Structure formats: C-alpha cells, structure tokens
C-alpha cells in the first residue's frame, strides 16, 4: 500500500494557463440533494466551484434553488424533474457527481437509472451516498460507459460489497472490485481513507477527527470532480482531492475543536494556491 504525501498536490495542481477561459477548466454536473438532504447537493457543488471547475451545475429538488443561489450564484441550477434540460447538461459535462443526499425513494432510483446509461466513455461519474445504497439494495453494477469513481464510507461499502467492516481487508476489497469495470476507482472513506484501482492501493496520510461532521463526504465528491474537471487524469486527481480535503480539515483543526464542511470549502482556493506546482 502506497502512502499519499503532499507531493501529489504539486504534481497535479498546475498554474492556470493565462490563455484560457471557463471552458478550459471543465464542466461539472452534480445530481444531488432531495428536499430532505438539500445541503448535500449544495456542499458538493460548492466544493467543485471552489476547487476551480470552470462551470458547475446542480441538478436537484427545486426547493433547493434559493438556498444555493444565496450562497453561490455562480452555480447554475436545474430542476431534476426537467428531463430535457438534464439530458442536455449531462451530455456536455466532463464530470458528473450523483448520489449525495439523493435519497432512496422510487424517484431517486429512477433518476439514477436514467442518468448512468446516458454517459459516454469520455466522461467520469462519481457515485456517492444514497446512490451507493440504492445500487446495493438493487444488487446492481451500473449500466454506464463512463469511468466510475465510487466513494463509499465503510458502512456503504458493507452494503455494496457484503463485507462487514472488520472484513474489509485489502485483499477482500480488491476481490470485490474485480467484479466492476477495470478502470473503476474505489475511494473507501475512513480515518485513513484507502484508494483502490486494479492492483494499486493508496492510503491517505492526512485527516483528523474534527472532520467527523455530516456533509464532509458530500464535500469530498465536489473536490474530486473539480480536480478531474481541470487536471483530467482521474487517478492522480482523485488522490490529490482526497489528500487536499483532509489537509484542509487538519489545518482548520489546528485552532478549532471541529470543522464544518463549509469552512473547509472556503479554504480550498488558498491551499491550492499554496501547494500548486511552482517549478515553471
Ligand atoms: N446536510 C445534508 O444534506 C446531509 C446529507 N447526507 C446524505 O444523507 C444520506 C445518508 O448518508 P449517511 O452517511 O448519513 O447515512 P448511512 O445510513 O448511509 O450511513 C451512516 C452510518 O454508517 C455508519 N458508519 C460506519 N463506518 C462509517 C464511516 N467510516 N464513515 C461514516 N459512517 C460510518 C455510521 O455509524 C452511521 O450511522 C446520503 O445521501 C448523504 O449524502 C449526509 O451526508 C449528512 C449531511
Ligand atoms: N475521524 C476522522 N478522521 C479523518 N477523516 C474523517 C474522520 N471522520 C470523517 N472523516 C472524513 O470525512 C468524510 C466523511 O464522509 P461521509 O461519511 O460520506 O460524510 P457525509 O455523507 O456526511 O457527507 C470522509 O472523507 C472521511 O474520511
Ligand atoms: Mg456520505
């Protein structure tokens, strides 16, 4: 198992080319946030925005529109009942997040089944939260051509893999992952998060208990999306996102007993500036 260090940030986070525009830095679509869990969608989309995605859209229950725009008017909003607008936005997105606060009702399951098959090989989809619980309930590996990144916490992985938490060893996790398409990345969230792709296994070295607050994983999905939208290569971008997320939590916890996801999100542009590649 390889340990992730701060070097991953320097290798992934490049200075922005001056000859550029918002399209240069990628389009992220976040499909998340039911009427009950609206904050999850807002945190995921806000994290993508502040990680630097060029264009970010949230598709969510319409009750969340005003709350989103009171915080970040930069993020576009789609009512997730609007099939035709959702389809148009899906096909033009580089990275799609689906699942944070989606809920597990029939509508959520139908939405998940509509979105995943519409994605192409060029796209990346980050599957999190309720979407993972739904896939576990229906015993399904998704029907999608997009590269998948799964971001379960240990209980969500238990549901999906049938491995109880004490049985989630490296070998057992790799065996389960073999049933998924070859390029699938597993981000198994815990105190020291593990990242799997085929025979590669990485372990995060940052992160503190002050981060154990609802919404912290929703936030990570947006950071992964923002990193991939800009820096493309999914595996290094995911490793950098996991490290950056926990580094931000750790930095804030130097002077705070607990850390809120919204505080962590606000810190991202500063840490990216500090840790970017300065060799050129
Ligand atoms: N403000 C919001 O809108 C929030 C929405 N959320 C959404 O709520 C839905 C349900 O997710 P939850 O994760 O709360 O509920 P789940 O029922 O899926 O899982 C939570 C349970 O798993 C257990 N667990 C075991 N190991 C764990 C680990 N390493 N990390 C975390 N939990 C572990 C915990 O004891 C906890 O009771 C998801 O769609 C999620 O995205 C949550 O993120 C909370 C905040
Ligand atoms: N004690 C801890 N130490 C380090 N990181 C933690 C700790 N508790 C939670 N985290 C991090 O916070 C995130 C929690 O994700 P998740 O449980 O999906 O949250 P939510 O669904 O509430 O948004 C993960 O990235 C996890 O690694
Ligand atoms: Mg979660």
Q: What are the tens digits of pLDDT across the range 28-61?
A: 999 999 999 999 999 999 999 999 999 999 999 9
| Strands 2-3, 200-203: pairing kind | parallel
250's CB contacts (< 8 A; 6+ apart) are 206, 207, 208
Total number of domains constituting the chain: 1
Residue 235 placed within a domain: yes
Residue 16 placed within a domain: no
pLDDT number for residue 6: 97
- Cα 65 to its chain centre, rounded Å, is 21
Q: Which atom of ligand 2 is nearest to the CA of 152?
A: 18
The residue assigned the tokens 């035709």 is 84
pLDDT number for residue 55: 98
Domain at 216, CATH number: 3.40.1190.20
In this structure, of 21-25, 132-136, 161-165, 275-279, the range with the lowest mean pLDDT score is: 275-279
Distance in Å, CA 87 to ligand 1 centroid: 29
Best mutation site among 36, 38, 40 for ligand 1 pocket (most ligand atoms within 8 Å of CB): 40
Residue 176 placed within a domain: yes
Mean pLDDT, range 116-123, rounded to an integer: 97
Residue 50 placed within a domain: yes
pLDDT number for residue 138: 95
Mean pLDDT, range 66-93, rounded to an integer: 98
Residue 127 placed within a domain: yes
Please list the residues that pair with 126 across neighbouring strands: 97, 149
Mean pLDDT, range 15-23, rounded to an integer: 97
Q: Which domain holds residue 205?
A: 24-269
Residue 14 placed within a domain: no
Residues annotated within the binding site for AMP are 189-193, 217
Predicted TM-score (pTM) of the model is 0.99
Measured from the alpha carbon of residue 42, the closest ligand is: 1
Measured from the alpha carbon of residue 205, the closest ligand is: 2
For residue 241, pLDDT beyond 90:
yes
Residue nearest to atom 14 of ligand 2 (CA): 217
Q: Provide residues with CB under 6 Å of ligand 2.
A: 129, 153, 189-191, 193, 207-209, 211-212, 214-218, 220, 246
pLDDT number for residue 83: 96
Residues annotated within the binding site are 40, 101, 153, 189-193, 217-218
Measured from the alpha carbon of residue 133, the closest ligand is: 1
Best mutation site among 190, 214, 252 for ligand 2 pocket (most ligand atoms within 8 Å of CB): 190
Distance CA 71, CA 63 (A): 15
33's CB contacts (< 8 A; 6+ apart) are 39, 40, 41, 42, 44, 58, 60, 61, 64, 100, 101, 102
Mean pLDDT, range 221-234, rounded to an integer: 98
Q: Going edge to edge, which strands form the sheet with 124-127?
A: 2-3, 200-203, 194-197, 185-188, 147-150, 124-127, 95-98, 27-31, 55-60, 76-79
pLDDT number for residue 250: 98
**pLDDT band (50, 70, 90) for residue 280:** confident
Residues annotated within the binding site for (6S)-NADPHX are 40, 101, 153, 218
pLDDT number for residue 140: 84
Residue 274 placed within a domain: no
Distance CA 184, CA 160 (A): 14
Q: Kindly report the three-state secondary structure assignment for every residue of the chain.
A: CEECCCHHHHHHCCCCCCCCCHHHHCEEEEECCCCCCHHHHHHHHHHHHHHCCCEEEEEECHHHHHHHHHHCCCCEEEECCCHHHHHHHHHCCCEEEECCCCCCCHHHHHHHHHHHHHCCCCCEEEECHHHHHHHHHCCCCCCCCCEEEECCEHHHHHHHHCCCHHHCCHHHHHHHHCCCCCCCEEEEECCCCEEEECCEEEECCCCCHHHCCCCHHHHHHHHHHHHHHHHCCHHHHHHHHHHHHHHHHHHHCCCCCCCCHHHHHHHHHHHHHHHCCCCC
Q: Provide residues with CB under 6 Å of ligand 1.
A: 37, 39-40, 100-102, 129-130, 133, 153-156, 189-190, 214-215, 217-218
Best mutation site among 30, 36, 37 for ligand 1 pocket (most ligand atoms within 8 Å of CB): 37
Of residues 143 and 70, more confidence is placed in 70
Locate 235 and state its tokens.
Answer: 């595996």
For residue 173, pLDDT beyond 80:
yes
Distance in Å, CA 247 to ligand 2 centroid: 13
């Amino acid at each position: 198992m390889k340990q992730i260090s701060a070097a991953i940030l320097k290798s992934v986070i490049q200075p922005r080319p001056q000859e550029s525009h918002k399209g240069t830095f990628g389009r992220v679509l976040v499909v998340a946030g039911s009427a009950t869990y609206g904050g999850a969608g807002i945190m995921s989309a806000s994290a993508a925005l502040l990680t630097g995605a060029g264009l970010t859209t949230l598709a969510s229950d319409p009750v969340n529109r005003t709350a989103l725009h009171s915080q970040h008017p930069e993020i576009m909003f789609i009512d997730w009942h609007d099939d035709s607008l959702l389809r148009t936005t899906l096909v033009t997105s580089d990275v799609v997040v689906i699942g944070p606060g989606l809920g597990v009702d029939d509508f959520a399951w139908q939405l998940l089944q509509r979105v995943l098959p519409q994605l192409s090989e060029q796209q990346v989809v980050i599957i999190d939260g309720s979407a993972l619980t739904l896939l576990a309930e229906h015993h399904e590996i998704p029907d999608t051509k997009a590269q998948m990144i799964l971001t379960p916490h240990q209980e969500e992985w238990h549901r999906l893999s049938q491995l109880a938490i004490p049985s989630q060893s490296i070998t057992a996790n790799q065996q389960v992952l073999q049933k998924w398409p070859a390029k699938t990345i597993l981000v198994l969230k815990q105190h020291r998060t593990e990242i799997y792709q085929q025979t590669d296994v990485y372990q995060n070295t940052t992160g503190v208990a002050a981060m154990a607050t609802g919404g912290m994983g929703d936030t990570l999905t947006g950071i992964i999306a923002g990193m991939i939208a800009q820096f493309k290569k999914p595996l290094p971008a995911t490793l950098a996102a996991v490290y950056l997320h926990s580094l931000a939590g750790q930095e804030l916890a130097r002077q705070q007993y607990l850390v809120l996801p919204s505080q962590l999100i606000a810190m991202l542009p500063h840490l990216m500036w500090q840790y970017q590649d300065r060799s050129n």
